[in-house]
Amino acid sequence: MKKICVVGTGYVGLVTGTCLAELGNTVVCLDVVEEKIARLRAGEMTIYEPGLETLVRRNVSRERLSFTTDADAALRDADFCFIAVNTPTIAGGAAADMTYVKRAAADIARHLTRPTVIVNKSTMPVGSGDVVYNVAMENLRDSSLSVAVVSNPEFLREGSAVQDFLQPDRIVLGSYDLAAARKVGELYMPLRAPIIITDLYTAEMIKYASNAFLATKISFINEIARICDGLGADVKEVAAGMGYDKRIGRAFLDAGLGYGGSCFPKDVKALAHMAGEAGLHPQLLDAVMKINDDQRRVVIQKLEAALGGADSLAGKTVAVLGLAFKDNTDDMRESPAIDIITWLLERGASVRSYDPEAIEAARRVLPTDGVTYCADEYDAATGADAVAVVTEWKQFRTLDMERLRSVMRDPMNAPLIDGKNLYDPEEMARLGFSYQGIGRGNGRRNGNGHNGNGHNGHNGRK
């Protein structure tokens, strides 16, 4: 059992601290925001993440997990200090703001009373390990104490973060102190996951390269979806056919409205920025970001086409189902819904919206005028001229579609823009919707009897 301090109780910090406690360690989560710590002490979750509340309550009750604003109490006897603070993009640019990281490193050093390993858990630019080490050495209360820095990037997906932590594909550790890296590795031994030990810069780069590659797959399939719409192919079948190839794989080949959230947009932009600072021209990364930005406009284009062309949105009401950037989270950061709703309002439309978890978060970032927050999906569709599905919540897959259509303004002309390809085009047409998915071929078929479920009766097996 080790004594661990996790600095920062945001998404990464709270999940990391809780799961390290679940592995049997004594963990103190430290934050400077008193309101957040007070809520956590009261048993109230500050983020929505499936399974996390249960783990927090269990480890608090077993006295393995606690929350504090007292840096001295949290840090002085810690064997490991995890830095999990925010690294936002500097306003107007692409570089990461390291202010909170430097502040955390300095606070750690000022309160240490024993040799400690500082673990960089936040996503930080390549070279940040050196920055943290230098700041720590400058602020040590006792110059005789030894400090090592280990980069341990997180690979947590919002909505499945607890599972990702406890069942990881790999653990990446980077340090110039091999003994320190191995000590951090011992924390993860109960997980029986592959452990990769590299130098600091390489570990930091693995994080950025991994997220950039996944973002590239998303932008690639979205570009293919645009082509499918133009040529009459079905991107879902294209992705399935591609996915059987082990060199490609099926993961992250779901066409939709592009990536969002706190990681992919920031990390791709930051990696492109770092490449530019090194005198390089990151052509692929630039294209990935451009495709992602353009993809969000597809919903607007399809709505305008369904309602009568350019300027047809003025005076119309659009139901937007889903506000969070993905399902199983209340995170609105870089959510496609923000741009889509903003553009709808700019075109003179009003919006009726619903999300199972993100409504309160949405109120803080969306315009105050023109947006109505509704009790459920059917309430949102009531009186709407069109419906746009923006987030892939599982409950949206099982909607009573006849009821949904019946409450729309004109059930005989019911446009449904499926931004996440949740529904079968032929079934939606049978139910009376004017349906448009992403890359589903705009309903074009070549007359050979293709039914959307495999070609010429084949079952999809090779």
Helix (H) or strand (E) holding 365: helix 359-365
Cite the DSSP H helix spans in 9-98: 11-22, 34-41, 52-61, 71-75
Cα(64)–Cα(6) distance, rounded to whole angstroms? 13
Question: DSSP letter at 378?
Answer: H
Q: How far apart are CA 430 and CA 108, in angstroms?
A: 63
Q: Exposed, middle or buried by CB within 10 Å (0-12, 13-18, 19+), for 58?
A: middle
Among 318, 433, 338, which Cα is nearest to 381's? 318
Instruction: Considering the candidates 5, 29, 263, 374, report the single residue annotated as catalytic.
Output: 263
Residue closest to 391 by CA, chosen among 237, 243, 234, 254: 254
What dihedral angle (degrees, nearest 10) is formed by the CA atoms of 198, 199, 200, 204? -50
Closest among 151, 141, 86, 85 to 108, alpha carbons compared: 141
- C-alpha dist (Å) from residue 327 to 155, 263, 356: 18, 15, 9
- The encoded tokens of residue 426 equal 């032929």
Task: Please measure the distance between the N-terminal and C-terminal CA atoms of the chain and give it in whole angstroms.
Answer: 51
Exposure of 363 in the CB half-sphere (CA atoms within 13 A) = 6
The answer to whether 263 is a known catalytic residue is: yes
Q: What is the DSSP string of 252-320?
A: T---SS---SSSHHHHHHHHHHHHHHTT---HHHHHHHHHHHHHTHHHHHHHHHHHTSTTTTTT-EEEE
- Catalytic residues, which ones? 263
